Amino acid sequence: MTSHPVDKPLAARVGQAMWAMALAGLLVALGGWATGRGQLVAPGLVALFAGTALGFSRYPSLRGFSFTWWVLAFVALSLGQPRAFGVWFGVDLKILIVPLIQIIMFGMGTTLSLADFSRVLRLPWPVFVGIVLQFSIMPTVGYLLASALGFAPEIAAGIVLIGACPGGVASNLMAYLARGNVALSVTMTACSTLLSPVLTPLMMKLLAAQYIEIRFVDMMLSICNMILVPIAAGLLANRVLYSRRAIFQRRTVLVGMGLAAGAAAVGIGVAGAAWFGPLTTGLVLGFGLIAVVALAKWIVELVLKGPGTWMDRALPLVSMVGICYIIAIITARSADDLLHVGLLLLLAAITHNLIGYTLGYWLARLARLREQDCRTVAFEVGMQNGGMGSGLAMNALHSVQAALAPAIFGPWMNVSGSILATWWRGRPPRRDHRDDEPSAAGPSSLSTTRANVGRPTAPEN
């Protein structure tokens, strides 16, 4: 006998409500389209995509795809209500893009440690192979696709840009799920990001100068301000958050550190660009976030006796919301372009991503890397930091059209990465004689594990 609905567990009823919302949204969107009531389509799509995202999040096997559905919900909302992501009280909301990316990069920094950078000394050949493939294959393939598909110059520059960006933290999660070398993945992500202030502008200068003006030094400083400074601040916060030293468990130390970092942020903000130039915003936000982390640890862990993993739980949500909002801001300013070339850009994203995975894996095999490392290189080559690409398009290239490609490529990389990781997970790496040797990577660090916890497919990017 079927039990009465009120007897079902609350979780099951909530799940049913999510899918009911998705179905209702689909019916509203179809009804609005069929009857010519266009104002109903966008709200219907928002309900459809948000309900599907919530529904997917309840199933571990589907949770990795929920981030993409949230992106679609924000895109639909920005297309239906572009003013919500336009100007508020005379302030253009696009000024939020760089701070949001800096916050996401700070979060990435808290998942890293100095060991993730120094590991390159023990893994020189795999790291070298991966980074060379990443910064040669992806920008070149982006250039070839942009030329072959005949995109407008600024959109074409955006395709080259996303190919020239380093890897993001999503690739670390994918390597873990695919039974790859997680320690190598984290090290490659860290090293490619560290090299990006030089290599990203260089590849843009070589391949995209015909599409849009590339100012090498300006782009380099923009990357330092937007990416490296927040990551460095995150590395310092990592010591505060996760160190087991007694000194970082004392109230006076945490409060003093918080106040000192806050004072530094205020002082740098007052001094401004006259003293710190284009790195000002990164330094202000970096020290400000260190202050927040130190004081939050004091309150959450010492006063409230809460868990020490609170940051691990908060960062994925902050990253997901930040990236979704960035994409919505970009979409609201380029709706006509997106509707005109969106499907063609999606085709370019699929092709670009597939070529990256394929060449990354097989060229790593040609370089005689072990199977685990080949899988890792495939993800590092095929997946880029879409958030960084969006920020550079808006802040360094000053082009909304150039930001379209990163906005579309990023969510697709999360979908394809999840699919490939799931496929590989069911096929354990074949052993060879090198697997009997001590691993050069050693055990994956605690920071590596944190980089894989709860990301929206990771995001990113």
Mean pLDDT, range 152-163, rounded to an integer: 95
Note whether 72 and 200 are same-domain residues.
no
Q: What is the CA radius of gyration of the chain?
A: 22
- What pLDDT sits at residue 2? 46
Q: What span, in angstroms and rounded, lies between the C-alpha atoms of 113 and 311? A: 16
Mean pLDDT, range 182-208, rounded to an integer: 93
- The SS3 of residue 458 is coil
Q: What is the dihedral of CA 326, 327, 329, 334, to 10 degrees?
A: 150
Give me the helices (H) in 40-82, please: 41-56, 66-80
Residue 373 pLDDT exceeds 90 = yes
Give the residue, 241 or 72, on which the prediction is more confident: 72
- What pLDDT sits at residue 434? 53
Q: What span, in angstroms and rounded, lies between the C-alpha atoms of 454 and 313? A: 7
Mean pLDDT, range 174-185, rounded to an integer: 88
Residue at a domain's end among 51, 66, 88:
88
Mean pLDDT, range 259-263, rounded to an integer: 92
Q: How many CB atoms lie within 10 A of CB 20?
A: 13
pLDDT band for position 1 (cuts 50, 70, 90): very low
Residue percentage of the chain with pLDDT more than 70: 90
- What pLDDT sits at residue 370? 92
Q: How many CB atoms lie within 10 A of CB 147?
A: 15
* DSSP state letters, 375-405: HHHHHHHH---HHHHHHHHHHTS--TTTTHH
- What pLDDT sits at residue 197? 94
Mean pLDDT, range 448-455, rounded to an integer: 41
**Number of Cα atoms under 13 Å in the Cβ half of residue 195:** 21
Note whether 380 and 422 are same-domain residues.
yes
Structural contact between residues 457 and 172, judged by C-beta atoms closer than 8 angstroms: no
Q: What span, in angstroms and rounded, lies between the C-alpha atoms of 65 and 61? A: 9
Structural domain including 328 reads 90-430+438-451
Residue found by looking up tokens 């868990």 in the block: 307
CA neighbor of 392 nearest in space, from 105, 58, 80: 105
Say which range, 24-33, 84-93, 209-218, 389-398, has the weakest mean pLDDT: 84-93
Note whether 335 and 362 are same-domain residues.
yes
Note whether 232 and 121 are same-domain residues.
yes
Report the number of distinct structural domains present in the chain: 2
Q: Left (φ > 0), alpha (ψ -120 to 50) or beta: where does 297 sit? A: alpha
H or E stretch at 87? strand 87-88
Does the residue 263 lie in any domain?
Answer: yes
Note whether 317 and 332 are same-domain residues.
yes
51-83 b/e (C-beta count within 10 Å ≥ 16 → b): bbbbbbbeeeeebbbbbbbbbbbbbbbbbbebe
- What pLDDT sits at residue 10? 65
* Eight-class DSSP state of 277: G
Adjacent-strand bridge partners of 88: 91
- What pLDDT sits at residue 254? 83
- What pLDDT sits at residue 447? 43
Structural contact between residues 101 and 388, judged by C-beta atoms closer than 8 angstroms: yes
Structural contact between residues 328 and 100, judged by C-beta atoms closer than 8 angstroms: no
Residue at a domain's end among 68, 88, 108:
88
Q: How many CB atoms lie within 10 A of CB 275?
A: 12
Note whether 47 and 158 are same-domain residues.
no
Does the residue 4 lie in any domain?
Answer: no
- What pLDDT sits at residue 446? 37
Q: What span, in angstroms and rounded, lies between the C-alpha atoms of 382 and 171? A: 9
Phi, psi of 12 (to 5 degrees): -65, -40
Does the residue 458 lie in any domain?
Answer: no
- What pLDDT sits at residue 339? 79
Note whether 76 and 104 are same-domain residues.
no
pLDDT band for position 335 (cuts 50, 70, 90): confident
Q: What span, in angstroms and rounded, lies between the C-alpha atoms of 119 and 88? A: 46
Give the residue, 170 or 285, on which the prediction is more confident: 285
Which CATH number does the domain housing residue 162 bear? Answer: 1.20.1530.20
User: Could you report the per-residue pLDDT of 26-63, keeping only the tens digit for each?
Assistant: 998 899 888 888 888 888 998 999 898 888 888 877 77
Structural contact between residues 125 and 340, judged by C-beta atoms closer than 8 angstroms: no
User: Could you report the per-residue pLDDT of 302-327, keeping only the tens digit for each?
Assistant: 787 777 667 777 777 888 888 888 88
Residue 455 pLDDT exceeds 80 = no
- What pLDDT sits at residue 173? 82
Does the residue 323 lie in any domain?
Answer: yes
pLDDT band for position 200 (cuts 50, 70, 90): very high
- ∠ CA 34-40-41, rounded to 5°: 70
The pTM assigned to this predicted structure is 0.83
Q: What span, in angstroms and rounded, lies between the C-alpha atoms of 392 and 220? A: 10
User: Could you report the per-residue pLDDT of 238-260, keeping only the tens digit for each?
Assistant: 877 777 777 777 888 888 888 99
Query: How many residues belong to the chain?
Result: 461
Quote the tokens at residue 258: 């918080």
Residue 13 pLDDT exceeds 80 = no
pLDDT band for position 8 (cuts 50, 70, 90): low
Amino acid at 139: P
- What pLDDT sits at residue 449? 40
- What pLDDT sits at residue 459? 53
User: Could you report the per-residue pLDDT of 95-131, keeping only the tens digit for each?
Assistant: 888 898 898 888 888 888 778 878 888 888 999 999 9
Note whether 288 and 305 are same-domain residues.
yes
Those residues whose C-beta lies under 8 Å from the C-beta of residue 449, and which sit 6 or more positions away, are none
Helix axes 229-242, 280-297, angle to 10 degrees: 10
- What pLDDT sits at residue 161? 96
Note whether 344 and 377 are same-domain residues.
yes
Residue percentage of the chain with pLDDT more than 90: 33
Residue 350 pLDDT exceeds 80 = yes
Structural contact between residues 411 and 67, judged by C-beta atoms closer than 8 angstroms: yes
Helix axes 404-425, 371-382, angle to 10 degrees: 160
**Number of Cα atoms under 13 Å in the Cβ half of residue 241:** 29
User: Could you report the per-residue pLDDT of 385-444, keeping only the tens digit for each?
Assistant: 988 998 899 888 988 899 999 988 988 888 888 889 888 888 887 766 555 444 444 444
Note whether 45 and 141 are same-domain residues.
no
Does the residue 2 lie in any domain?
Answer: no
